[in-house]
Amino acid sequence: MIHFNRPYMTGKETEYIRQAVLGGKISGNGEFTHRCQDYFEKRYGFRKCLLTTSCTDALEMAAILTGVGPGDEVIIPSYTFVSTALAFIRCGATIVFADSRADEPNLDATKIELLVTPRTKVIAPVHYAGCACDMDAIMEIAEKHNLLVVEDAAQAIDSYYNGRPLGSIGHLAAFSFHETKNIISGEGGMLVVNDERFIRRAEIIWEKGTNRAEFFRGEVNKYGWVDTGSSFLPTEIVSAFLWAQLEHLDEIQAERKRLWNRYWDFLSGLLPAAGEDAPRYGEDTVPRYGADTVPRCVPARGVPKFTLPRIPAYATNNAHMFYLTFPDLAKRTDFIAKMKARDILTVFHYLPLHSSEFYKAKHDGRELPNCDRFSDTLVRLPLYAGLGPDQDKVLAAIKESLV
């Protein structure tokens, strides 16, 4: 079976874990934690980074920092993972779901202002597949109505919006290093604080509600319980694993982009139009594949059997995911079954949160047709560094399954 995802190892993970263990400090906020946090702050210009045990934890920290509570409203896309909502639900806030765009799964920024009420406190856009939401529009709405923006950048490492790193635009942001992401630590995440007024409190929340971090920096002569919080920081073992990944971020990204481009080039040949607007990476930095390495394709005629991803002009593609959308649920189900019969695992993605068993009674009843459509029709193809020659088998199976 060719799986949808396999964790990629650089070869240094166990060595750095060994160093952390032999160093005598494995409880967290040690050398490897500092290395990773410094890396992100210097490379992407994030104001303050705090590693967490998961992206869910990073989002929960962000929700606490925003100060939302009962009676407050938070606008999020319905087409997202449950963690985006849970973080604010735990604080007692009410979730207001936004629909996706018609042409891509990200939330439709042109409809957000219609959802703003005097109770709205936060907008939490999700950069689906590492592709940026329209952040200028979102930040303009936030400024106009005095709202905070929390970027759910779980899938968006090393991706940009108009030249700005995702995660650096909102007041706060959360990243994931789950084993399905581009850069991994098994489980793991990171809170990014871009607004100076939240930095000190973020550290306190991170350290179980204490000013312990200040104590270890010698800024106070003792530490104690000063705020709410939890045990959000990861062990040095997790941070050591992550550091081994970060040392190879560029080569991991180059390989994922190479694989993404192969999917695009091949699948474009199966469409009535050959994808003249394909997003490209520089020919001098990403090797092209030879014509004899994959089944030859002749552009199809007639109605397309699927749709390729759309990358807006303001966004870059970090090759986190390659997905197709089908005309309806039946055709997607048929495709997944045919691929599985050929020992290739392709998977759909989110079920709409607005119709979930937990929250449907609390939803305001608005229909979110684009979200529902992507939930019924989107399918993700295997994509991970290390896929290698197996991608040829995937491409051949796709062609056979679409006949």
CATH code at position 348: 3.90.1150.10
Domain presence at residue 5 = no
Place of tokens 């919006």: 161
Same domain (yes/no): 178, 261? no
pLDDT digits (tens, 9 = 90+) for 67-104: 999 999 999 999 999 999 999 999 999 999 999 999 99
The reported pLDDT for the residue numbered 207 is 93
Identify whether the C-beta of residue 78 lies closer than 8 Å to the C-beta of residue 368: yes
| Contact (Cβ atoms closer than 8 angstroms) between residue 76 and residue 98 | yes
- Interatomic CA distance for residues 108 and 101, integer angstroms: 4
Q: How many CB atoms lie within 10 A of CB 81?
A: 18
Instruction: With cut-offs at 50, 70 and 90, classify the pLDDT of residue 218.
Output: confident
pLDDT of residue 395: 97
- Using the predicted structure, report yes or no on whether residue 388 has a pLDDT greater than 90: yes
Residue 275 has pLDDT above 60, yes or no: no
For residue 345, pLDDT beyond 80 = yes
| Residues 239 and 253 grouped into a single domain | no
Instruction: Quote the percentage of the chain above a pLDDT of 70.
Output: 92
When pLDDT is averaged across residues 12-22 and rounded to a whole number, the result is 97
Residue 359 lies in a domain: yes
Strand order in the sheet with 189-193: 48-52, 189-193, 172-176, 148-152, 120-123, 73-77, 94-98
pLDDT for the residue 197? 96
Q: Is residue 257 part of a domain?
A: yes
Res. 221 pLDDT band, cuts 50 70 90: confident
Residue 303 — pLDDT band, cuts 50, 70, 90? low
For residues 206 and 217, which has the higher predicted lDDT (pLDDT)?
206
Do residues 160 and 111 make contact, with C-beta atoms less than 8 angstroms apart? no
User: Is residue 291 predicted with pLDDT exceeding 90?
Assistant: no
Residue 48 lies in a domain: yes
Instruction: Give helix then strand counts, H and E, for the chain.
Output: 12, 11
Domain count for the chain: 2
Q: Check whether 300 has a pLDDT greater than 50.
A: no
The answer to whether position 7 is within a domain reads no
Mean pLDDT score, 2-21: 97
Please name the helix (run of DSSP H) or strand (run of DSSP E) that holds residue 372, with its range, or none. helix 369-377
pLDDT category at 273 given cuts 50, 70, 90 is low
Residues 168 and 41 reside in one and the same domain: yes
Domain boundary among 246, 265, 296: 246
Residues 25 and 52 in one domain: yes
Residue 297 domain boundaries: 249-401
| 79 and 105 Cβ atoms separated by less than 8 Å | yes
Residue 135 pLDDT greater than 90, yes or no = yes
The average confidence (pLDDT) of the chain is 92
**Res 293: pLDDT:** 36
Sign of CA dihedral 383, 389, 392, 397: negative
Please determine, for residue 262, whether its predicted confidence score (pLDDT) is greater than 50: yes
Let me know if residue 256 belongs to a domain.
yes
Of the three residues 229, 246, 263, the one that is the final residue of a domain is 246
CA distance 336 to 92: 39
Residue 152 parent element (H or E): strand 148-152
Q: Answer with the one of 207, 222, 246 that is the final residue of a domain.
A: 246
**What pTM was estimated for this model as a whole?**
0.92
pLDDT of 282 > 60? The answer is: no
162: three-class secondary structure by DSSP: coil
Please say if the pLDDT value at position 296 is more than 60: no
Residue given tokens 């940009």 in the structure block:
160
The total number of residues shown for the chain amounts to 403
CATH number, domain containing residue 42: 3.40.640.10
- Report if residue 78 sits inside a domain: yes
Q: 234 and 262 in one domain?
A: no
**Is 6 a domain residue?**
no
